[in-house]
Chain A
Amino acid sequence: MQRVLIVEDSQTMREWIAAVLEEVEPPLKVDLAASGFEALRLLPRQQYDLIITDINMPDIHGLEVISFARSDARHAHTPLVIVSTESSEEDRRRGLALGANAYLVKPFAAPDLARIVSDLLSGSMP
């Protein structure tokens, strides 16, 4: 079973993303991190097939989480999706420059997220 990490400080948003992923076929194992710090703890211990992260979080932000993930050989090439309400075009550019594969701006539609996740996991998206 493929394993996905969701990093999102908003509980509502976190659980919603998890609910969307529940509908993805084949079924996924989903881990939830409620803060950047929680993600730091999980990433070195677990091989993830996909990471979904928010940018704006109170402890450390998403760009730092991405940088951390990418600096570890284990997650150097793991597909990575940023979900953010980001209004700054500049931060979007920076996220992609750090090696994120997709950038979804909230509010996004459930089918869009589901499709991107499926595509990234099946390798049909660069």
Chain B
Amino acid sequence: MATRGPKKTPGRAEREFLSESEEILERMRDDLGACLERASAGAELAPDVLNRLFRSAHSLKGLSGMFGLESLAELAHRIEDLLDAWRLGRAQPTPERLALFEESVELFGHALEQLAGGGLDAGFGDTVAALIARIAAENAPSTAPQSAESGAIDAPPALLRALTEYEEHRLRENLARGRSIHVVTAVLQLASFEDRLSEISTALREVGELLSTLPSPGDGGPGEIRFALLVASELDAASLAARLELSPAAIHTARAGRRDPGANSASSAELPRTEAEPAAAADAREGAPETETATLRSVSDTVRVDVRKLDELMNLVGELALERGALSEFARRLGAEPGLARLGAELDKIHKALDRKLQDLQASVIEVRMVPLRQVFDKLSRVARRLRLDLGKQARLEIKGADTELDKLIVEELVDPLMHIVRNAFDHALETPEERRAVGKPAEGVIRLEATQRGNDVVITVADDGRGIDAQRVLAKAIERGLVPPTAQLSQREMLDLVFAPGLSTRSEVTETSGRGVGMDVVRSNVSALGGIASVDSALGVGTTLTLTLPITLAIIQALVVGVGEERYAIPLNAVREVLIPGADALQRSGTRELLALRGDALPVLRLRDEFAVRSGTPAIKPFAVILGLGDARLALLVDRLEGQRDTVIKPIQGPVRSVRGVAGATDLGDRSAVLVLDVAALVSSAPRAEAA
């Protein structure tokens, strides 16, 4: 039979490409952020950061090219050209050029998103072409102001021969600045050279610029390796040796600097030391924080794992948990057999030990999936920085709790909703400085982004001190749009909640900043797709707080399994408030709606059999009411029977139908049949509003 093994993983090459490109792009964004900060402080950009950016663009170009993504390769190529000109000193990174660079990086990010979603948008090539044209206009070739200084350097020829063009440029640049050039030699054990080498490199970067590292075989046999490090520094050989705790013999001065007391250069006397000192100190600082060695070392004991692999691992753990359940059942039956009670008890003991280990395993696997929110928060502060420039609003973003950890998949899905909320805050919520002064607020607005862990949830709040939401205006708008009947009597909270309703925007025009057609309704649906809740609180004139409550992990949830006809469904237990069998008079009709009277409240009722059009079996005469609650909203879900509580792994439903109302995913309870998992947030919000009539 032509059955293919399950090992065939189509799209692996694409996934590999996307994951590596995203990693590179993320590094570029960080480096870009560092550059923008230095540029806005009027400082010179650190050469090694520029070089790293160049290398990143270079890698993106190579990867895109191999994939036949011509437009992307071309874009990366142009970014690379920009950076190459900067790092080789042929052009200056002006604010305009930096902005173009930033735009290019963002565009590349969009491209990766589109590719992950199935392919590049039709108009993408044009967008790239337009940007490339602008870069070309901005980055017109200029004559290279090559530093005339090169001259003879007393360094091993092999070392000089292996310099790249960039390294040679840096060498000239340092010579022009009058720094000394030294060759540091270190003979290390081949088996363990990395630690010591990175120690030396880090130390060298603190006192100057490391230009090149040339390895050669050691004299002491194959177990040794010799490194020649070419370094430019203000220090002379003796001070350098002292700083590095190396023998002075290990350092050879290839060219003495102008400020070196022992320099043979005639120009040394012309430079007054007092003026040179601060510049030297600034240069040393410039090199210091950008040590690459630290990241290098951390890479070596870190493994990059595809989240999908972790999903597989999680599934296996889930399946093990199911097998364990069978074992427990067997132990119970064994114990009930006459004469076998002792065996049963022993088996039960083994089962309990297994259970503990399994829980540890589960916890470890979940832990591996956890990443800090920092990644997302960093992105947001970059966006905030740009908005501040674009909108001319005085505002700062304060961040707290960036170390809070969440499932990697959730973190990824949070980027868009959070981005939208922050943009909204800048765009709509904060007043102009003049307006703020007029009402006695400080001109600078504050947006506080905070994450905290509460039990199995992570709560993220975005609070601004802006103008607040006018609840009455929201209500009027909702009535105008026909979203609520004109007679509706809503509480303040319910009125505010209408901002999440589809098709409602309190500002009619779409703005550049928070436009893009994404509304708060999308924020809410994104968040509920992750099993979370979005809510809003606001006081007019004081500010608005948006709160997102999210589960820490999507991986394993506790579920209540219910039955309707021949079908079974799983309900995430965190949404189940209570279960009861309603008395005959508790269920009441009110017009077209059915209500459940519960301790003085009237809850909307949804019969799952009707909602999902289940035809098998006959409706139970005394159905169970599962009371679902998310935030303040509650719903009574009527089902035929309860089948118990289970740990389950929610899986996405693969196939042509992308999403189904009321279904969050599916799970296999261990009997090789699929059970749908209910999307409680969707069910609760689709139920008719239980307003006081």
Report A-B touching, CB under 8 Å.
Answer: yes
Bound-state Cα–Cα, A11 to B66, Å: 13
CB distance from A53 to the nearest CB of B (A): 12
Max chain A C-beta neighbours (<10 A), residue from B193, B212, B217:
B217
Bound-state Cα–Cα, A12 to B20, Å: 7
Looking across the interface, which residue of chain A has its beta carbon closest to that of B214?
A64
Q: Is A1 in contact with chain B by the CB < 8 A criterion?
A: no
- In the complex with contacts A12-B16, A68-B216, A85-B162 CB distance below 8 A: no
CB distance from A46 to the nearest CB of B (A): 11
Instruction: Report chain A residues within 8 Å CB of B16.
Output: 11-12, 15
Q: Is A40 in contact with chain B by the CB < 8 A criterion?
A: yes
* B369-382 near A? 1/0 per residue, CB < 8 Å: 00000000000000
Do the beta carbons of A58 and B296 come within 8 Å of each other?
yes
Do the beta carbons of B13 and A12 come within 8 Å of each other?
yes
Bound-state Cα–Cα, A67 to B84, Å: 24
Bound-state Cα–Cα, A106 to B61, Å: 9
* B301-325 near A? 1/0 per residue, CB < 8 Å: 0001000000000000000000000
Instruction: Report chain A residues within 8 Å CB of B80.
Output: 87
Do the beta carbons of A94 and B66 come within 8 Å of each other?
no
Q: Is B610 in contact with chain A by the CB < 8 A criterion?
A: no
Q: Is A88 in contact with chain B by the CB < 8 A criterion?
A: yes
* B155-181 near A? 1/0 per residue, CB < 8 Å: 000100111110000000000000000
Chain B residues within 8 Å of chain A by Cβ, number = 40
- In the complex with contacts A12-B20, A63-B162, A90-B165, A40-B225 CB distance below 8 A: yes
Instruction: Report chain A residues within 8 Å CB of B13.
Output: 12, 16
Do the beta carbons of B164 and A61 come within 8 Å of each other?
yes
Q: Is A123 in contact with chain B by the CB < 8 A criterion?
A: no
Q: Is B65 in contact with chain A by the CB < 8 A criterion?
A: yes
Q: Is A125 in contact with chain B by the CB < 8 A criterion?
A: no
- In the complex with contacts A44-B190, A88-B165, A107-B212 CB distance below 8 A: no
Looking across the interface, which residue of chain A has its beta carbon closest to that of B213?
A60
Looking across the interface, which residue of chain B has its beta carbon closest to that of A8?
B62
Looking across the interface, which residue of chain A has its beta carbon closest to that of B293?
A59
Bound-state Cα–Cα, A107 to B165, Å: 22
Q: From the candidates A11, A16, A72, A107, name the one contacting B73 in the complex (CB within 8 A).
A: A107
Instruction: Report chain A residues within 8 Å CB of B212.
Output: 64
Q: Is A13 in contact with chain B by the CB < 8 A criterion?
A: yes
- In the complex with contacts A40-B225, A44-B190, A107-B66, A55-B164 CB distance below 8 A: yes
Q: From the candidates B165, B216, B296, name the one contacting A59 in the complex (CB within 8 A).
A: B296
Instruction: Report chain B residues within 8 Å CB of A60.
Output: 213-215
Instruction: List CB contacts (< 8 Å) of A54-96 with chain B.
Output: 55-56, 58-61, 63-68, 71-72, 84-85, 87-88, 90-91, 94
Do the beta carbons of A91 and B62 come within 8 Å of each other?
no
Chain A residues within 8 Å of chain B by Cβ, number = 38
- In the complex with contacts A44-B217, A58-B292, A106-B164 CB distance below 8 A: no
Do the beta carbons of B222 and A44 come within 8 Å of each other?
yes
Bound-state Cα–Cα, A20 to B546, Å: 52
Do the beta carbons of B62 and A10 come within 8 Å of each other?
yes
Instruction: Report chain B residues within 8 Å CB of A66.
Output: 162
Q: Is B258 in contact with chain A by the CB < 8 A criterion?
A: no
Instruction: List CB contacts (< 8 Å) of A84-122 with chain B.
Output: 84-85, 87-88, 90-91, 94, 97-98, 106-107
Looking across the interface, which residue of chain B has its beta carbon closest to that of A68?
B215
Q: From the candidates A11, A85, A88, A91, name the one contacting B65 in the complex (CB within 8 A).
A: A85
Bound-state Cα–Cα, A55 to B304, Å: 23
Bound-state Cα–Cα, A9 to B292, Å: 15
Do the beta carbons of A58 and B55 come within 8 Å of each other?
yes
Instruction: Report chain B residues within 8 Å CB of A106.
Output: 61-62, 65-66
* B179-215 near A? 1/0 per residue, CB < 8 Å: 0000000000011011000000000000000001111
Q: Is B86 in contact with chain A by the CB < 8 A criterion?
A: no
CB distance from A42 to the nearest CB of B (A): 10
Do the beta carbons of A91 and B162 come within 8 Å of each other?
no
Bound-state Cα–Cα, A91 to B169, Å: 12
Do the beta carbons of B222 and A85 come within 8 Å of each other?
no
Bound-state Cα–Cα, A84 to B80, Å: 14
Instruction: Report chain A residues within 8 Å CB of B453.
Output: none
Instruction: List CB contacts (< 8 Å) of B142-163 with chain A.
Output: 158, 161-163
Instruction: Report chain B residues within 8 Å CB of A68.
Output: 214-217
Do the beta carbons of A85 and B164 come within 8 Å of each other?
no
CB distance from A71 to the nearest CB of B (A): 5
Q: Is B111 in contact with chain A by the CB < 8 A criterion?
A: no
Instruction: List CB contacts (< 8 Å) of B34-57 with chain A.
Output: 52, 55
Instruction: Report chain A residues within 8 Å CB of B292.
Output: 58
Instruction: Report chain A residues within 8 Å CB of B162.
Output: 63-64, 66-67, 94, 98
Do the beta carbons of B158 and A71 come within 8 Å of each other?
yes
CB distance from A108 to the nearest CB of B (A): 8
Q: From the candidates B20, B84, B163, B217, name the one contacting A72 in the complex (CB within 8 A).
A: B217
Q: Give me 11 A-to-B residue pairs in the complex whose CB atoms sit less than 8 angstroms apart, sorted by A's number.
A: A12-B16, A40-B193, A44-B225, A55-B164, A56-B55, A64-B213, A66-B162, A71-B158, A71-B217, A85-B62, A91-B164
**Chain B residues at the A interface, C-beta cutoff of 8 Å:** 13, 16-17, 20, 52, 55, 58-59, 61-63, 65-66, 68, 73, 77, 80-81, 84, 158, 161-165, 190-191, 193-194, 212-217, 222, 225, 292, 296, 304
Given contacts A40-B193, A45-B222, A107-B68, 14 further A-B contacts (CB under 8 A): A9-B59, A11-B304, A37-B193, A37-B194, A44-B217, A60-B214, A61-B164, A64-B212, A67-B215, A68-B217, A87-B84, A94-B162, A94-B163, A98-B162
**Chain A residues at the B interface, C-beta cutoff of 8 Å:** 9-13, 15-16, 35, 37, 40-41, 44-45, 55-56, 58-61, 63-68, 71-72, 84-85, 87-88, 90-91, 94, 97-98, 106-107
A-B pairs, top 9 by smallest CB distance, nearest first, are: A107-B65, A85-B62, A67-B162, A106-B62, A68-B215, A90-B165, A63-B162, A12-B16, A107-B66
